[in-house]
Each structure stands twice: as structure tokens, then as C-alpha cells.
Amino acid sequence: MPTAGDSAGSRSRGVFGAYLGLTKPRIIELLLVTTVPTMFLAAGGFPPLWTLVATLIGGALAAGGANTLNSFIDRDIDAKMVRTGRRPLVTGEVSPRAALVFGWVLSVLSVLWLAATTNVLSALLAAGAIAFYVLIYTMGLKRRTPQNIVWGGAAGCFPVLIGWAAVTDSLAWAPWVMFAIIFFWTPPHYWPLSLRFAADYEAAGVPMLPVVASMTRVGREIVIYSWVMVAASLVLIPVAPMGWIYTVTAVTLGVLWLYEAHALLHRIHVAANGGPPDVKPMRLFHGSISYLALLFLAIGIDPFVG
């Protein structure tokens, strides 16, 4: 028979899970996947353990705070979309006021933490990332332009700058090239998802590119950004400079990505001419996550064997 303690523990886990859900932990995981290898590259090997741990904590707090504030602002949109209809603010598990306070606390704490444990530059970069994601993307671009994810995605590029700055207390060309890789990766990563859930975005009044443009145009833009992204990944080889591990990985992954991007465009052309309507956009979406993780894994390994 359940006891009062069991019920209290269940409620505590429910509350914890709801607040954790506000931070969008899967997005945080992806951001940290790019931070650690960047720090290895900046250090030319293992960075100081405390610097690594402190940066990951600060980065997680910053991303969690920005994502929570995004959830607070977009709660009306989330309620209209099937994909986001069970988020804590939509279900009422967390009140809007509590979410707003939680987001601000995480955001401010992240900046103070990074300033105290790493350096001021990394703290300022974290503050810039939060401000960009909340003010420029969420409040400015998302509901107004189909280019929202192009420029708004820049917020997800900041972790490489923060990681590099935490190790070196400076910036160089290498982190900016990695910034460019993620910047050009974001649209062809997100637009396939938007193709899959275009009806959701249309119902919510969000002008994602697949909502306002033909599938053919979306497919072409995915291919264009894919080629630029792969080119940026190769630019890192002479700039860093990188060794054979990264070079082989970047070329191989780039070929596989471009194959999938062109295959998606081909399926779109077939669908437009009366073929199967399901163009299977999620193949590229899921593959894009593996691409970024493996590419940055190679960045992290390369300093040790290159």
C-alpha cells in the first residue's frame, strides 16, 4: 500500500521533472556535446578539470535559463502544437510566474558562475547568448520571418565560443569557424523537422519556411546550406590546424550528409510530380544530430592523435 512518504516522493519527482522539462535538456545535451571538444582543441589536450566542469555547469545553467524563458514566452504557441502540447507550462504543471522566475534565476546564476569560476569573457559570451536567444530570436524573429531559424540559430553557436574562452581567456579564428559550422548546420537540421510538423507551425501562426514556401524551395535551401556547412567544416583543417582524424571524419560525414540532403530534394521533386507524398524529412533530421556529434567527437580526439 502506498504511504504518505511515497506520495510526497512522487510529487517531488513530478515537480523536478516539470522544471527540468522547461530547460529542454535534450537541447542542452547537444550544446554541451560541442563545448567539450572545443575545450580539448583550445587546450591542445586535456584542459584543467575544474575549468572543464565549471564551464559545463555554467553552460548548462545558461542554456537551461534561456530555454525556460523561451518556454515562458512561447507558451501560447506551444498550446496550439501537437509536438509541444505536453510541455509543463501548457499542462499547468508549472505556473507562468514560477517559470519566469526560474528562467531568470538560472540565467543570472550562469553568468555569475562563469565569471567567478572561469573568466569574464566566457561570462559575457553566455550573457550574449541568452539575450540573443530570448530577445532576438524568441521575441523578435520567430513570429515575424521565415528566416527565424537562420539567424536565431546563432544562439546555439555560442557554446563553442564560451568553451574556447574558458580555456584561453581569448578568442581565435578556430572557434569562429566552429561557430560557422553550427550556424550553417542549424537550418538544414531544423527545416526537415519543420517539414514534418508544418501543419503545427501553420496552426500556431509561426512562419517557418515550410509554412510559407513550397517544399521544393525548402529542399533547395537545405541543399545550399548543407554545401556551405560542409565547406566550413573543411576550413577548420588549415585554420586550427587539424590532423588526419578530423580530416577523414569531416570528409566522410560531409559526403554522407550531402547524399542525404540531395536525396531529400529528390524525394521532394518526386512528390511534386505525383509520387509518394511522404518525403521522409526526419531521416535528415536524425542524421543531422549524429553528424554534429561525430564531427565534434573528431574535434575532441584530434589533438591527442593528430
> How confident is the model at residue 306, as a pLDDT?
60
Condensed to tens digits (0 to 9), the pLDDT of residues 158-182 reads: 999 999 999 999 999 999 999 999 9
Interatomic CA distance for residues 157 and 176, integer angstroms: 9
Instruction: Please give the model's pTM, rounded to 2 decimal places.
Output: 0.92
Condensed to tens digits (0 to 9), the pLDDT of residues 29-65 reads: 888 899 999 999 999 999 999 999 999 999 999 999 9
CATH 1.10.3720.10, domain 19-168, yes or no = no
Any idea what the Cα angle at residue 198 is, between residues 287 and 259, rounded to 5°? 30
Question: Which class is domain 172-306?
Answer: mainly alpha
> How confident is the model at residue 164, as a pLDDT?
98
Residue 220's CB is within 10 A of a number of other CB atoms, namely 14
Report, as an integer, the average pLDDT of 219-247.
97
Per-residue pLDDT for 133 more than 80? yes
For the chain, the structural domain boundaries read: 19-168, 172-306
> How confident is the model at residue 303, as a pLDDT?
95
Q: Please, is 151 exposed, middle or buried when counting C-beta atoms within 10 Å of its C-beta (0-12, 13-18, 19+)?
A: middle
Torsion of CA 300, 59, 47, 233, to 10 degrees: 30
> How confident is the model at residue 204, as a pLDDT?
86
Condensed to tens digits (0 to 9), the pLDDT of residues 62-91 reads: 999 999 999 999 999 999 988 888 899 999
Alpha-carbon separation of residue 295 from 34, 46, 112, 169 (angstroms): 9, 18, 31, 24
Report, as an integer, the average pLDDT of 212-221.
95
Pick the residue with more confidence: 257 or 199? 257
